[in-house]
């Protein structure tokens, strides 16, 4: 399963996408460690889309790798920083894992809807939801 990302009422601020966006807004930078490590990120709306499709129609049984996008942490940091026009602060490397997933089965179930939202739009949607909740 991909690393979860996105806003929810039970927000996990430490998850890489969430943390980068929150730090960009609150601290004016994106902190980057392990730029060459790969991650598959799963956005919560895409997870919901998959679950809904699996419940509504009959599909091939078995295991599904689920993820919305695969990229390096460095690429993610660069793109998030670009959205918010903030610098990337490189903080070195540490022992970590690296993975990408083949999410072809998920794509076959969800179709093109899953890929229609850009990473940059997901950043803006996340912060809009985050700021709306913080204001209440």
At 24-44, the pLDDT tens digits run 999 999 999 999 999 999 999
Say if CB 100 and CB 41 are below 8 A apart.
no
User: Average of pLDDT values for 60-89?
Assistant: 94
Burial 58-96 (b: 16+ CB within 10 A, else e): eeeeeebebbbbbbbbbbbbebbbebbebebeeeeeeee
Please compute Rg for the chain using Cα positions: 16
93-134 tens-digit pLDDT: 999 989 888 888 888 888 766 657 899 999 999 999 999 987
Expressed in angstroms, the distance from the first to the final Cα of the chain is 32
Average pLDDT of every residue of the chain: 91
């Amino acid at each position: 399963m991909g690393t979860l990302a996105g806003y929810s009422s039970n927000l996990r601020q430490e998850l890489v996408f969430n943390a980068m966006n929150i730090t960009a807004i609150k601290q004016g930078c994106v902190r980057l460690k392990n730029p060459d490590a790969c991650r598959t990120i799963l956005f919560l709306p895409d997870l919901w889309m998959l679950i809904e499709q699996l419940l509504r129609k009959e599909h091939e049984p078995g295991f599904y790798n689920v993820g919305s996008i695969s990229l390096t942490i460095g690429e993610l940091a660069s793109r998030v920083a670009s959205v918010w026009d903030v610098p990337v602060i490189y903080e070195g490397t540490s022992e970590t894992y690296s993975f990408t997933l083949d999410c072809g089965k998920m794509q076959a179930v969800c179709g093109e809807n899953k890929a229609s939202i850009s990473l940059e739009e997901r950043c803006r949607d996340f912060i809009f939801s985050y700021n709306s909740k913080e204001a209440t």
